[in-house]
């Protein structure tokens, strides 16, 4: 019985760590994608105001 409890606990800890790492990577990915998109949008906005449109 103790063997199964230890196995289930190990599995749960592994899943929690995997989810935590995945969320960290996704937030990092979102941040790295947001910055260039924001920069391009800012450049396009500045170009429109510079041209007088």
- The model's pLDDT over 27-52, given as tens digits with 9 standing for 90+, comes to 777 777 677 776 777 766 666 555 55
- The model's pLDDT over 3-28, given as tens digits with 9 standing for 90+, comes to 888 888 998 988 888 888 877 777 77
Whole-angstrom distance, CA of residue 3 vs CA of residue 25: 33
Domains of the chain, residue spans = 1-26
Whole-angstrom distance, CA of residue 38 vs CA of residue 42: 6
Q: Residue 21: its pLDDT value, please?
A: 80
Q: State the DSSP string of the chain.
A: -HHHHHHHHHHHHHHHHHHHHHHHHHHHHHHHHHHHHHHHHHHHHHHHHHHT-
The answer to pTM > 0.95 is no
Q: Residue 35: its pLDDT value, please?
A: 73
Whole-angstrom distance, CA of residue 48 vs CA of residue 2: 69
């Amino acid at each position: 019985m103790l063997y199964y409890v230890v196995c289930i606990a190990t599995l749960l800890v592994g899943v929690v760590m995997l989810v935590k790492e995945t969320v960290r990577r996704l937030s990092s990915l979102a941040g790295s994608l947001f910055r260039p998109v924001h920069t391009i949008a800012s450049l396009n906005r500045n170009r429109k105001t510079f041209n007088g449109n």
